[in-house]
Amino acid sequence: MRAILTLAGLTLKEAARRRVFLAAALVAGLFVVFAFLPMPIRTGPLVGLTMDEARDTTGKVFAWMGCGTIKFFASVLAVTLAAGSITAEVERGVLSTIVPKPLARWQIYLGKWLGLLTLLAVSVAVWGGLLAWGIWRQTGTFHPRLFCGVLAAALFPLLFTTLTLFFSSFATSALSAGLALIAAGVALAEDTLLLLSRPFFLDSPTLATLSRVVGCIVPLGRMNHWITRGLDGAGRDVTAFPLFNPNGPGEAAVATTQGDMVYILVYIAAFLALGLVIFQRRDL
């Protein structure tokens, strides 16, 4: 365990050398700018809401959008960092000098994985805190459940770090990033296919089945639904609006189950294990 922690620390130092913290700081700056943007909330009475209700609704919309912003930038950062963490060091000859030392390859792999996740976890925590502060400053509302939504959003960098590191165990940096982005693109089709399969669109059981298959290949849709479940009353998921939702106002378009979370965690563990196996066999 000590070797893994040491390599995790070295991974963090390498990230600092590459000025990765500047990218995280830029994203944090976006949340700070949001907190100071002039956003007078005056539309409440126009849509039949009191000002307090308008502030509360606006805060919930900001919470959902903020969690979406966090998951997006955390995923991009995860792909960027993990894509070159194995292959780039193999090409530079760094790993060939580390492997002969009394370190197992699985320790190197897990050390890098843990180091990347530590950096991303700190970034998500800071962004989540700034989001909560920005919403409070703009609307005067605060819902502790917001942090459950942020925690669910952290599943995205966890998955993309694991998936991209797996690709990096056998592919070049560019290909690793490309494969991770392709996986994300495939996953984006899940909710779209489900929406099109509804009776008020194409009413197609085939599209519904295809949506479930896509959700199994890359479970980003399941993680999105867990953000909604985490936020609970602190966020307003656009899929809960009647235009998108056949289940009725206020209900999630897709039910979220404990089994979804089990599948997500098993999926991540499986790709972590596959990456370890491939890295054990790779020529350095």
Q: What is the pLDDT of residues 77-125, one digit of tens each?
A: 999 988 877 766 665 655 555 555 567 788 888 999 999 999 999 999 9
pLDDT value of position 46? 47
> Phi/psi of residue 178, each to 5°?
-65, -45
Please tell me which residue, 81 or 246, carries the higher pLDDT value. Answer: 81
Give the pLDDT mean for 73-78. Answer: 94
How far, CA to CA in Å, does 141 sit from each of 57, 62, 98?
Answer: 10, 11, 51
Residue 80 corresponds to which tokens in the numbers above? Answer: 């960027």
Q: Which of 35-49, 75-89, 113-127, 186-200 comes out lowest in average pLDDT?
A: 35-49
Please tell me which residue, 148 or 97, carries the higher pLDDT value. Answer: 148
Q: Kindly write down the DSSP assignment for every residue of the chain, as one continuous string.
A: -HHHHHHHHHHHHHHHHTTHHHHHHHHHHHHHHHHHS------TGGGT--HHHHHHHHHHHHHHHHHHHHHHHHHHHHHHHHHTTTHHHHHHTHHHHHTTTT--HHHHHHHHHHHHHHHHHHHHHHHHHHHHHHHHHHHS---TTHHHHHHHHTHHHHHHHHHHHHHHTTS-HHHHHHHHHHHHHHHHHHHHHHHHTSTTTT--HHHHHHHHHHHHHSTHHHHHHHHHHHHGGG---GGGSTTT-TT-TTS-SS---HHHHHHHHHHHHHHHHHHHHHHHH---
Asked whether residue 156 carries a pLDDT value surpassing 90, the answer given is yes
Torsion sign across C-alpha atoms 238, 242, 248, 249:
positive
pLDDT value of position 73? 95
For residues 49 and 47, what is the distance between their CA atoms, to the nearest angstrom?
6
Asked whether residue 254 carries a pLDDT value surpassing 80, the answer given is no
pLDDT value of position 249? 43
Q: Which residue bears the tokens 């899940």?
A: 190
Asked whether residue 259 carries a pLDDT value surpassing 70, the answer given is yes
Q: Give the pLDDT band of residue 251 (cuts 50, 70, 90).
A: very low
Asked whether residue 253 carries a pLDDT value surpassing 70, the answer given is no
- Provide the residue type at 112 as one letter: K
The closest alpha carbon to 177, from 81, 111, 284, belongs to: 81
Residue 120 corresponds to which tokens in the numbers above? Answer: 């991303």
The closest alpha carbon to 122, from 74, 160, 79, belongs to: 74
CB atoms closer than 10 angstroms to residue 143: 20
Q: How many domains does the chain have?
A: 1
For residues 126 and 105, what is the distance between their CA atoms, to the nearest angstrom?
32
Q: Which residue bears the tokens 């792999």?
A: 109
Q: Give the pLDDT band of residue 49 (cuts 50, 70, 90).
A: low
Q: Domain range for residue 215?
A: 2-281
Residue 94 corresponds to which tokens in the numbers above? Answer: 């760094």
pLDDT value of position 147? 92
% of the chain surpassing 90 pLDDT: 32
Residue 193 corresponds to which tokens in the numbers above? Answer: 């296919």
